[in-house]
Structure 1
Amino acid sequence: MENASYVTLTRQSGLMREMETIAHNIANAATTGFRQQGLVFSEYIQALDGSDSLSMAAARVKKTSTAQGVLTQTGNALDFAIEGSGYFQLETPDGLRLTRSGAFNMDATGDIVNSDGYRVLDSGGAPINVPAGGGDVSVAPDGTVSLGDRLLGQLGIVEPEVGADLERESGVLFKTEAAVAPSEDGKILQGHLEGSNVDAISQLTRMIEVQRAYEMGQKLLDMDHERSKTALQTLIK
């Protein structure tokens, strides 16, 4: 295959990956705590024998947007939104996971959990248990959880170290291999939820641009195929 065709195929593959990412973003535009993702295109150069080097671009890295989603008041005592930076910590069978989705409830034992039943952790990495019959839970902006005059713990709001990668594990759960530290500016809003931070209009616009670029690349591949076919037929004659 000629170098030009190889470069075009590599570009087409990256455009397809970006299209999939955009479609996933748009599908979750109404998902509580969802974080928009984009692709980072990186250039890499390959040396060629007897000719100039070959420069190609590939979409290899996903970047998660940290933009604040819209905060909506729900009035539910176990709905929490983070205003500012940071993530809630969840205890899962696969280890610590981070999320911005604060639609929580209590399980049969009184532990605060998310919709999947994963326990929400305090600033020390322990679950938060609410004794039965004590009334409504109160949570201060710093995450302090109280039941009447009784202190139950403090919701852990953390963020990975600067430059660390967040890997999306499911729609609103992330994992990171980096160390996490308490958020410096994140505060809790009780009775609120943070919506998706997807910018649907810009994503739809980008989808159209990517589709047009893909169609143009496909035309170039078709033209190159016809040239190769014509050349082969000429040689056979």
Structure 2
Amino acid sequence: MDNTTYIALSRMDTQMRAMSVLANNLSNADTPGYKASHVLFSDYLVKQKGSQATGEADEAFNQDRATYRDFGQGTLQQTGNPLDIAITGEGFFSVMTAQGVRLTRNGRFQRLADGRITDDAGNVLLDRTGQPVQLRPQDRTISLASDGTLSTENGVAAEIGLVTVDNPYTLVGEGNQIFRPTTQTRQLDNKELRQGMLEGSNVNSMTETTNLIQLQRDFEVVSNLVESEATRRQNAIDKIIQTQS
């Protein structure tokens, strides 16, 4: 297998990775709080053996450098559910999972029988002191101020905390909605929450679909190149065998 095929295969490998990321984005286009992922590729330049020239003498292999999240704001959607909470601007909800405290932008919460407020996966929502947000048995009417103060007809029940990190790109995704902080988090004092609303996914379905189609076409072109190159090499081998026989 010569370098032409190796270069083409490196291209196909990165294209498959990109298609996987795009497909995951599209499958989460309706997931509340989902943040789209993008891939970052670069060229790995290798100088041809025995060549002292530059420029065209370099062989460019594709390599997958990183996958990163777009933390841009998603569209706010009205739901009317008093425990649906949308974040406008920066910040993340803190929830307690089996693996410890994690961060999320998914504000679809529910009330358990014991009064605790949890997300879809059963992770408990935390207040600004790191304690579980819990309503009293007699609490019926729930209202939320934009600063996170959660009240009922019986008074203030809790203050929902929002945290942030200096660099959101240091967050490690665990699934499609949960992030593990790898650096110190801090509480946000100026927060804007909206009750009865959800932040939708920030995936642009039209753009992602177009990119996916283009990637599939490019993959087919490179795949055909690899196949034709294999055929050419096999024909060359057959001719050599015929000449020697």
Same fold (TM over 0.5): yes
Report if the CA contact (8 A) 1:64-1:166 is conserved.
no
Counterparts of 2:213 and 2:181, CA distance in 1: 32
Secondary structure of the equivalent of 2:169?
Answer: coil
RMSD: 2.0
Greater C-alpha radius of gyration: 2
- Aligned residue for 1:96? 101
- Aligned residue for 1:7? 7
Query: How far off its partner does 1:230 sit?
Result: 1.9
Q: Structure 1 residues 164 and 67, CA, compared in 2 at 3 Å: closer, same or farther? A: closer
Query: How far off its partner does 1:39 sit?
Result: 0.8
Counterparts of 2:168 and 2:106, CA distance in 1: 22
Report if the CA contact (8 A) 2:148-2:191 is conserved.
no
Query: How far off its partner does 1:60 sit?
Result: 3.6
Q: Structure 1 residues 163 and 146, CA, compared in 2 at 3 Å: closer, same or farther? A: closer
- Aligned residue for 2:91? 86
Residues 29-86 of structure 1: CA deviation (Å, up to 9, x unaligned) = 1222221111111333456653455432222421111122111222211110001112
Q: Are residue 108 (structure 1) and residue 113 (structure 2) matched?
A: yes
Q: Structure 1 residues 172 and 163, CA, compared in 2 at 3 Å: closer, same or farther? A: closer
- Please point out which of 188, 199, 208 is paired with 1:203: 208
Counterparts of 1:176 and 1:164, CA distance in 2: 10
Report if the CA contact (8 A) 1:85-1:185 is conserved.
no
Counterparts of 1:147 and 1:55, CA distance in 2: 63
- What is the count of residue pairs matched by the alignment? 237
TM-score, with structure 1 as normaliser: 0.90
In structure 1, what residue type is equivalent to 2:12?
Answer: Q
Report if the CA contact (8 A) 1:90-1:98 is conserved.
yes
- Please point out which of 217, 224, 231 is paired with 1:212: 217
- Aligned residue for 1:144? 149
Residues 124-178 of structure 1: CA deviation (Å, up to 9, x unaligned) = 2221111111332222112122234633332121222226333332222222322
- Aligned residue for 2:81? 76
- Aligned residue for 2:182? 177
TM-score, with structure 2 as normaliser: 0.88
- Please point out which of 59, 64, 78 is paired with 2:64: 59
Secondary structure of the equivalent of 1:164?
Answer: helix
- Aligned residue for 2:54? none
Q: Are residue 39 (structure 1) and residue 42 (structure 2) matched?
A: no
Query: How far off its partner does 1:186 sit?
Result: 4.3
Unaligned runs of 5+ in 2: 52-56
In structure 1, what residue type is equivalent to 2:40?
Answer: V
- Aligned residue for 1:26? 26
Q: Structure 1 residues 184 and 53, CA, compared in 2 at 3 Å: closer, same or farther? A: farther
In structure 2, what residue type is equivalent to 1:5?
Answer: T
Report if the CA contact (8 A) 2:149-2:158 is conserved.
yes
Report if the CA contact (8 A) 2:69-2:169 is conserved.
no
Report if the CA contact (8 A) 2:108-2:198 is conserved.
yes
Counterparts of 1:11 and 1:111, CA distance in 2: 50
In structure 2, what residue type is equivalent to 1:212?
Answer: R
- Bigger mean CA deviation after superposition, 140-149 or 42-51: 42-51
Counterparts of 1:184 and 1:129, CA distance in 2: 21
Secondary structure of the equivalent of 2:120?
Answer: coil
In structure 1, what residue type is equivalent to 2:116?
Answer: D
Counterparts of 2:65 and 2:224, CA distance in 1: 24
Counterparts of 2:191 and 2:20, CA distance in 1: 31
Q: Structure 1 residues 176 and 50, CA, compared in 2 at 3 Å: closer, same or farther? A: farther
Q: Among the aligned pairs, what percent are the same residue? A: 33
